[in-house]
Amino acid sequence: MIITVASGKGGTGKTTVAVSLALSITADWRDLADQDLTDKRFVHPAQSESVNPANPLFLDCDVEEPNAALFLRPTIQERREVGQMVPEVDLEKCTYCGRCAEVCQYHAIAVVGEKVLVFPELCHGCGSCTLNCPTGAIHEVLDVIGTIERGWAGLPPSYPPHGGGGKGAYPPHREGGKGRVEFAQGTMNVGEPMAVPIIRQLKQWAIPPDASTGLVLSEVEGLGGTPGDRPVILDASPGTACPVVESMRGADFVLMVTEPTPFGLHDLRLAVEVARDELGLPVGVVINRDGVGDQGVDEYCAAESIPILMRIPLDRRIAEVYSDGGTLVEALPEYREQFQNLYAAIGRLVADRKGARA
Amino acid sequence: MMKQLVILSGKGGTGKTTVAAALAHLASQEMPVVLADADVDAANLELVLDPTKQGEHIFMGGQLAVIDPEKCTACGICADVCRFDAVISGDEAYRVDSLACEGCASCFYQCPEEAIRMEEQQAGLWFRSDTRFGPLFHAHLFAGQENSGKLVTLVKQQARLRGLDSGAALVVVDGPPGIGCPVISACAGMDLALHVVEPTVSGVHDLERIMSTTDHFGVPSLVAINKADLNLARSEEIIAFCAGQSVEVVGRIPYDDVVTEAMVQGRPVTDYTDGPVTEALKEMWSRMKDLILSDGTGIVKEVQR
């Protein structure tokens, strides 16, 4: 099941909710539901040999300002440069006919006398110039605009169970008793304008192709989950423009994190327009800083029949924990169950939707 | 000479609009000001400035491919050439996913049946309004549309022209979050960027990225720390970072729920209360005013070195 966490307005707590949701539903924590995770004697479950493949996959899709890693502190194992294919012109073959400039909708290639100018920052990588060049003078090269990375927060499945160390061993991150979350993020290079190609490639690279066709019902029952039935959580950027659309596309559910203020409501409406009305996805709301502001968000959700799935009260402690890179479920473990319930509620809504369609 | 100031943050929700509205209020008491909301996909400045709309204009964004089902033979060439997965296959005819289409027209040129046409899309609206603090230019980009950078540029241009026509001293631009295309558009031509940052790990991380972005485009920076007392150690970290970059921290705004109260009342916080937040913002404005209005080239010299 793929869940995109979005908001419209920035700073409402998308990353806080997405990270805490992921940490609350790790298979390890599900197995250890009865253990007190604040207990200093807590033994990390990754030291046992069993690996549950149902651990969540977390994608930070806010490639302009990726922040989730500050809270999940993953060990990055793989990194690659991404970008888009931009034209390179072979001047031996070029006849300066100008066809490429004519077909380019973005003014990313221009022919001036016996010169061809390419502007990579305007190029969308559509390849139309290549296809239209009558002399086959254009080939495409990668213009790097960012990186994508992946790894694990907590211990990777291949971590030697008996502390073998050496090759294949990754430094454990056990602070706060973190469970295992597979992690991936994209980072756009400073000065680059286009986030969408990075998000698109991040998703293609990190999300298993069958992620959204998993047996959602099995997740709902006791949060069990089956292999191939992984929770995938995408943390989107603020706003409602193309990077947000790309982060929502292909999701089973969009979880809107908002605050009960006029700004929060105004931008929530816009985000719902994108997710529910344009993309046809089921949506639900988490109200963060419940207690500030006014009743506008509650009234709007009631009028639009949008379920409010969780409320996180206004609590300066939470803001302080966040300010130092702490996560909500680690600092206030009583929230763990609420996030598990949130996940179960989302599972039910998605299952209902799929049932209704079938 | 008219100056242009953009309020940015990198990270969303740090208080850009709260600060922009307060500066609009404070500046307008001393000089003619023009305002622009460059966060076109989630424009909020209008919510606290109580604007009266004077004009509404259509914004034509990019174009989209449209397949004529009568002419389409379902050969699939359009889907093959589309790199944005925007063509949805069908037995009789193919369709275009309008949200995925980037308007590149690659399919238009390759379709052997000439079944595809490119249609201009209305991507949003932009408005000219009056407020108690000066004229406001703002916009609404339709859900999921592209070309937000183009609309940002348009809104800013309108504000600038109005400012030049009416002899304004300052244009205040409320910027979008992030560092991508709308932010780059918002930075263009600005004399000064004020970064509003929170003393949190995310805030610090994002400040470094947004400041590199404004540096990259040659716009000098100032910094305001919002909710500065939330985490004093992080605030110090920001101050030290800024000192290392030779960037002045012009404001430290305390955490106060009155900011939300003012927002609920639809007013700039400085216009709503005289408390510590307003005091901090007034102090910040008085320092900024000196920097902004010193002389034609003063900001760059004084702030950067």
pLDDT at A27: 62
**Among candidate residues B20, B55, B51, B13, the one with its CA nearest the CA of residue B38:** B20
Burial class (CB in 10 A: 0-12, 13-18, 19+), A185: buried
- Intervals of chain B under pLDDT 50: 296-305
pLDDT in tens, chain A (358 residues): 899 999 999 999 999 999 999 988 876 544 444 444 444 333 344 433 333 456 789 999 999 999 999 999 888 888 999 999 999 999 999 999 999 999 999 999 999 999 999 999 899 999 999 999 999 999 999 999 999 999 888 654 433 333 433 433 333 433 333 347 889 999 999 999 999 999 999 999 998 776 665 434 344 444 444 444 678 999 999 999 999 999 999 999 999 999 999 999 999 999 999 999 999 999 999 999 999 999 999 999 999 999 999 999 998 889 989 999 989 988 888 898 899 899 989 988 988 887 776 6
* Chain B residue whose CA is closest to A8: B42
CB contact set of B218 (below 8 Å; sequence gap of 6+): none
**Distance between CA atoms of residues A127 and B194, nearest Å:** 39
pLDDT at B222: 97
CA dihedral of A228, A176, A19, A253, whole degrees rounded to 10: 40
Residue B118 has which token pair? 């490119």
Task: Please tell me which of the candidates A65, A195, A278 has its beta carbon nearest to residue B206.
Answer: A65
| Backbone φ and ψ of B26, nearest 5° | -70, -45
pLDDT at A56: 87
A303-310 contacts, C-beta under 8 A, 24 or more apart: A304/A272, A306/A256, A306/A272, A306/A276, A307/A345, A307/A349, A308/A284, A309/A255, A309/A284, A309/A285, A309/A342, A309/A345, A309/A346, A310/A286, A310/A338, A310/A339, A310/A341, A310/A342
CB contact set of A325 (below 8 Å; sequence gap of 6+): A70, A71, B201
Domain count, chain A: 2
- The residue written with tokens 């049946």 in the block is B113
**Distance between CA atoms of residues B25 and B15, nearest Å:** 15
**Among candidate residues B221, B233, B229, B286, the one with its CA nearest the CA of residue B252:** B229
pLDDT at B300: 46
Q: Which residues of B touch A132 (CB under 8 A)?
A: 109
* Chain B residue whose CA is closest to A133: B109
Digit-coded pLDDT (tens) for B223-251:
999 999 999 999 999 999 999 999 999 99
| Same domain? A195 vs A153 | yes
| Same domain? A94 vs A58 | no
The CATH code of the domain that includes A130 is 3.30.70.20
Q: Quick one: which H or E segment has residue A352?
A: helix A335-357
pLDDT at A47: 38
| Same domain? A69 vs A185 | yes
| Same domain? A309 vs A277 | yes
- The residue written with tokens 């174009």 in the block is B63
pTM check: above 0.90: no
- The residue written with tokens 């099941």 in the block is A1
| Same domain? A191 vs A338 | yes
Q: Is B42 on the interface with A (CB under 8 A)?
A: yes
pLDDT at A166: 40
| Same domain? A245 vs A97 | no
pLDDT at B146: 80
- Give A166's Cβ-side CA count (13 Å radius): 4
The CATH code of the domain that includes A171 is 3.40.50.300
Q: Is B235 on the interface with A (CB under 8 A)?
A: no
- The residue written with tokens 């039910």 in the block is A348
Q: What ipTM, to 2 d.p.?
A: 0.91
pLDDT at A14: 96
- Binding-face residues of A in 189-248 toward B, CB within 8 A: 190-195, 237-245
List of domains in chain B: 3-50+132-304 (3.40.50.300), 62-121 (3.30.70.20)
Residue B243's CB is within 10 A of a number of other CB atoms, namely 11
Q: Which residues of B touch A106 (CB under 8 A)?
A: 104
CA distances from A311 to A76, A269, A296, A347 (A): 33, 18, 15, 18
| Same domain? A353 vs A339 | yes
- Angle between helix axes A14-24 and A335-357 (nearest 10 degrees) is 90
Residue B161's CB is within 10 A of a number of other CB atoms, namely 12
**Distance between CA atoms of residues B249 and B223, nearest Å:** 5
Q: Do B81 and A127 touch (CB under 8 A)?
A: yes
According to DSSP, residue A187 is labeled E
The domain boundary, picked from A143, A170, A190, lies at A143
| Same domain? A101 vs A181 | no
The domain boundary, picked from A121, A143, A165, lies at A143
Structural domain range at position A69: 2-81+145-357
Q: Which residues of A touch B106 (CB under 8 A)?
A: 103, 126-128, 131
Q: Which residues of B touch A241 (CB under 8 A)?
A: 41, 141, 144-146, 148, 182
Q: Do A127 and B105 touch (CB under 8 A)?
A: no
- Angle between helix axes A296-304 and A262-272 (nearest 10 degrees) is 20
